[in-house]
Structure 1
Amino acid sequence: MSSVEITGGSVLRGSISGQRRHLGVASLFLIGHQAGEALVPVLVGVVIDEAVTTGEPSALAFWLLVLALDFAMLSLSYRYGARRSWLADVLADQQLRLQLAERVLDPRGGAEAGRLPGSLATIAVADAKRVGIVNFALPLGLAAVAALVVAAIALLRISLPLGLLILLGTPPLLYAVHLLGKPVERRSGPEQERAAAASGVAADLVAGVRVLKGIGAEPAAVRRYVGTSQDALVATLRATGAQAWYQGAVLAANGTFLAVVALVGGRLAAQGEISIGGLVAAVGLAQFLLTPLSIFGWVNGRIAQARASAARIAEVLNTPPAVTAGERPAPDPVSGAVRLRTLTHGTLHEFDLEVSPGELLGVVASDPADAVTLLHCLGREVDPDGGAVELDGIPLTEYTPSDARGAVLVAAHDAELFSGTVWDNVGAAAGGGADLEPAMAAAQADQVADALPTGRDTEIAEQGRSLSGGQRQRVALARALAAAPPVLVLHDPTTAVDPVTEARIAAGIRDIRRGRTTIMLTTSPALLAVTDRVVLVDGGRVTAQGRHADLLHTDAHYRKTVLA
């Protein structure tokens, strides 16, 4: 991520400059289209003056041919110009989504801090689209300018007063349109912000629907979503009201201006200062001017919305990373020696712990916050406030985040499954051609697969919603075991599994991880019974350590924590 601060303006300018080739071609074609449209009433006036009034058939045929060629030119110009404009719009939208995805997926993290997944999705979809559509609007705006120039020149040739009226009256009108768009810009940001919040809350509730039903919290969840949705509705109605007021005001301003043009033209024709054809051309141009002036209003509205959306995108892109990026590659091979030296972060204070290569260590935390903090530090999700987490004698902060996480894999308690088959989920973190059966058997996930309609090829719904809690845990554990990292950190992997299956899983973990470092943060007696050593964490420090059976007999606090 660049150290240069990204602003909403730079996001908008970057979106435009990245498509300048398409924008240039689109502008040329659309300028040709609008110029051709402006020439239609002029040519109709010429037909009346040069052919209809004189009654010459050859002149009529010639000018009708010219008019037909003008229609052909403006039609083809719009077709190719609009195609290039839409291409620029789509490509700019795609580029912004890729930038946002790159930032969110940055191994250093940070972009998700304080934002729900639904909010990030709204920014990547709706806001990126609002910025991208500026690339469609700008060529139309330039074409509208060209139309005004052509119309003004034509009116100057027909009548100097009418031409001056257009030239002198249009700039104040455009400035008024710009001022009218300010409320739209102010309200567009809150509208998108609250819509993103509603989307995030909805996604959060859907993900936890089973838990909500289990604890009987559906009414509270509904009230929360209704409140958030109402806020989004109010913001949307305010923004829509501003947009409707803006469009109505622009239409009224345009109509007033055109009425003045028509009135002046009519008086000049009545005084005989312009011909019948000139009057027809002037009235036609006055009516035509409604289109470019309306385009100005539409373009200004899109730019106003794009500014607000670009500012939201910039906030995500500017989010500082959660961890520093080291440059040292992981050692090859990794022996798996882990040491936490005077680690201070969150609830941990000068925490010391040493794990030997190949050791199966159990960690019992009397305060769940200690376990979560320890997971964050081991998983390279945060940089500790003090001390260090070392792998083979080197602090994890010196490794690249991807190498650190590849060497020390943290399998979180709430690890999510993905859409796809059971086999695809288990093999997601394993190398191609890896034998997944040992991991499936160790996690007892083979029994899960055998109970499903099409076995290992059974499709799993998003986030594993088609499976029970215990089935999801076993498939997620099998995925972690199949990755076979040098150091594996497991957090309560069997809380939704029955005791018999849990004992089998404990034996399976010990067998499949033999010779490789494994740390299990759990209070499960079945899992702790197969460990080489257990440490008790209390008050942010290690207060006891030894074999599980020995600690049960000698440490009352350990016994209470594990057997409660």
Structure 2
Amino acid sequence: MSPTSPSGRDVLRESVGGQRRDVALGSLLASGHQVGEALVPVLIGVVIDRAVTGSDTGALLLWLGVLAVVYVALALSFRFGAWAGDRSAVRSEHVLRLSLVRRVLHPGGGAEKGRLPGALATIATEDAKRVGGVNTAVMYGIAALAGILTCAVVLLRTSVLLGLVVLLGTPVLLWLGHLLSKPLEARSEAEQERAAHASAVAADLVAGLRVLKGIGGESAAVARYRTTSRDSLAATLKAARAQAFQSGMVLSLTGCLIAVVALVGGRLAAQGSISLGQLVSAVGLALFLLGPLEVLAWVNAELAQGRASAGRVAEVLAADRDVTAGGRSLPQRVRGAVRLSGVGHGGLRGVDLDVAPGELLGVVATDPAHATDLLHLLARRADPGTGTVELDGIPLRDLDPAELRTAMLVADHDADLFEGTVRGNVTAAAPEATDPEPAMTAAAVTQVAQTLPRGEDTAVGERGRSLSGGQRQRVALARALAADRPVLVVHDPTTAVDAVTEAGIAAGLREVRKGRTTILVTTSPALLSVTDRVALLDGGRVTDTAPHTDLIARHETYRAAVLS
């Protein structure tokens, strides 16, 4: 999208303009089809006047041949026009989906704020499809107008009165159709919102299915989804009723216009103003008008739904970023010195903390929310309200978040795995020519591989659900270690691992990260015991820093957080 904050109109304009060649080709061929359809009743009238009335066999064969050629031409025009139109719609949908994915994955974040993953998925699929479908609607709309214009010209040549009926009646019909589409647009937007919310709730419940079963919350989850699903159904039914009403009213108005054309043509034929063939042509053209006018009614409905979906797409694309890129760059060699000075964010209040290059630091937060706030700042998903967070003396707010993440990796506790193999997941972020074996050994993934059917090449299902919780954690930790960043921040990487394996991981982690800065945000005694020192984050402030054994000896708060 070219505008930095696109509107729904910008999205539609870009969708159609980006595929203008296919839209133009499709419109031209589809218009040829409509013109050919309009000429069929005209040619039938000519056959009647020039061949049937005069019993001229030669003329009959000639005009029947012309009619056959017209049929072949309009059939080919429709086939290739529909192909061009569908291709423009699919390509536009694809481009728009890529734009949405780029925005959602942008290092600055913000697109996901206030939206569950299922809602974003619906916008990137159903809404993108509806916006792409506007290309097809534009193509068929132009073709329908070409058919109506051809019909009006022919009728004007036959009778000025007949032509004026069509030329004056069609704009009125289009205007009424546009007015009737307004309620559909509003209800279509509500329908998509409710559908997106239902998808989001379903995805949320499926992701937490094990937890729900563990706490016996299935009935509450079912009740929640049933309520959400009913709301979605009600919105869908309202949109369907609005579409049915709009289609029915436009069809009724179209029928009235056709009836007027047939009535005027019949009176002119009775008065001798037009011939029998011209009357047949006029009636045939009146019946032909039903097709393009129905198409225009469909186009109105498609545009209404497309506008509603384009508005939802534009909201995601124009979402404010959580953080913006600064103007400074990282030094060529990152030492890994991390400093927090007077940092205030969320529940954090005046946090001061220095991490020396190459240090293995533990952070124990008595409130899990404070740990999350700290991780968000280090990953630069947010900037502190007060104070600064620095890497090698450079404030993080002055760096591009994408560049920062090449030097500092924050591995979340609930990191997802990708569909692929175990080894493929470990090497997903590893530099080229990096041997992943040390990271896999340190995180005890080699033990996991020994229990799997194909070892490291065993396929991992979506989000790693084919593995147990402890196996997923070990693969995710190995992936973070294999990335080999100068600074690594890890959050509770062993909560689902047994004590013996956890002790081995602690020793392996210290060994594989030797000489590089590592911050362990955890309350695990096994992990904290291998750190150089531990910072106690209590009440939103760092209240003490010392080796793990010293803090256990002198802090009741620390003992409660770590040993309970």
TM-score by length of 2: 0.98
CA distance in 2, matches of 1:108, 1:2: 18
Q: CA deviation at 1:270?
A: 2.7
| Residue 271 (structure 2) pairs with residue 267 (structure 1) | no
> Who is 1:134 aligned against?
134
Partner of 2:483: 483
**How many angstroms does 1:38 deviate by?**
0.4
| 1:4 positional shift | 4.1
Contact 1:335-1:486 at 8 Å conserved across structures: yes
Aligned length in residues = 564
Could you tell me how far apart the structure 2 residues matched to 1:512 and 1:182 are?
A: 63
User: Shift of residue 433 of structure 1?
Assistant: 2.9
CA positional deviation for 1:332: 2.4
2:552 is the counterpart of 1:552 = yes
Q: How does 1:277-426 map to 2 (within 5 A)?
A: 277-426=277-426
- Say whether the 8 Å CA contact 1:207–1:463 is kept in structure 2: no
Alignment-mate amino acid for residue 303 of structure 1? L
Displaced runs of 4 or more, over 6 A: none
Quote how far apart the aligned CAs of 1:194 are: 0.7
Q: Is the 8 A contact 1:347 1:369 kept in 2?
A: yes
Aligned equivalent of 2:223: 223
Instruction: Report the alpha carbon displacement of residue 131 of structure 1 after superposing the two structures with TM.
Output: 1.0
Q: Is the 8 A contact 1:491 1:521 kept in 2?
A: yes
In the alignment, the residues of structure 1 paired with residue 351 and residue 9 of structure 2 have an alpha-carbon distance, to the nearest angstrom, of 46
Alignment partner of 1:68 is 2:78:
no
Secondary structure class of the residue paired with 2:405: helix
Q: How far apart are 1:256 and its partner, in Å?
A: 1.8
Query: Displacement of 1:207 after TM fit?
Result: 1.4
* Offset at residue 36 of structure 1 (A): 1.0
**1:539 deviation in Å?**
1.0
CA displacement at 1:290 relative to structure 2: 0.3
Question: SS at 1:212's partner residue?
Answer: helix
Aligned to 2:239: 239
Structure 1 regions of 5+ residues with no counterpart? none
Name the aligned partner's letter for residue 394 of structure 1. Answer: I
Partner of 2:492: 492
User: What residue is the counterpart of 1:178 in the other structure?
Assistant: 178
Aligned-partner residue type, residue 115 of structure 2:
R
What is the rounded CA distance, in whole Å, between the counterparts of 1:370 and 1:170 in structure 2? 65
1:100-249 to 2 correspondences below 5 Å: 100-249=100-249
Q: Give distance in 2, aligned partners of 1:321 and 1:2.
A: 17
Structure 2: distance between partners of 1:173 and 1:332: 68
- What's the CA shift for 1:253? 1.3
CA distance in 1, matches of 2:161, 2:319: 56
How far off is 1:408 after superposition?
A: 1.1
Gaps of 5+ in 2: none
Partner in structure 1 of residue 31 of structure 2: 31
**1:225-257: per-residue Cα shift (whole Å, max 9, x none)?**
111111111101110111111111111111122
Superimposed CA distance per residue, residues 144-163 of structure 1 (whole angstroms, 9 cap, x where no aligned partner)? 11111111121122223222
RMSD: 1.3
TM-score with structure 1 setting the length:
0.98
Looking at structure 2, the residues matched to 553 and 88 of structure 1 have their Cα atoms a distance apart, in angstroms, of: 70
Q: CA deviation at 1:358?
A: 0.8
Determine helix, strand or coil for the equivalent of 1:490: strand
Q: What secondary structure is seen at the aligned counterpart in 1 of 2:100?
A: helix
Other structure's SS at 1:112 match? coil
Task: Please state how far the C-alpha of 1:294 moved relative to its aligned partner.
Answer: 0.5
Q: In structure 1, what residue type is equivalent to 2:310?
A: A
Partner of 1:511: 511
Q: Deviations over 1:151-177 (max 9, x none)?
A: 112112222322221122222111111
Instruction: Give the aligned residue type for 2:383.
Output: D
Residue 3 (structure 1) shift: 6.9
Amino acid in the other structure paired with 1:506:
A
Which residue does the alignment assign to 1:440?
440
How many Å apart are 1:498 and its aligned residue? Answer: 1.0
One-letter amino acid of the structure 1 residue matched with residue 361 of structure 2: L
The alpha-carbon deviation at position 494 of structure 1 amounts to 0.8
Counterpart residue type for residue 85 of structure 1: G
Instruction: Please state whether the residue corresponding to 1:181 is helix, strand or coil.
Output: helix
- Contact residue 173 and residue 250 of structure 2 kept, 8 A: no
d(CA) in 2 for partners of 1:5 and 1:529? 50
Offset of 1:185 from its aligned partner? 0.6
- Displacement of 1:2 in angstroms is 6.8
- The amino acid of 1:90's aligned partner reads V
Listed one character per residue, the Cα deviations across residues 58-83 of structure 1 (whole Å, up to 9, x for unaligned) are: 21122112212211221222222222
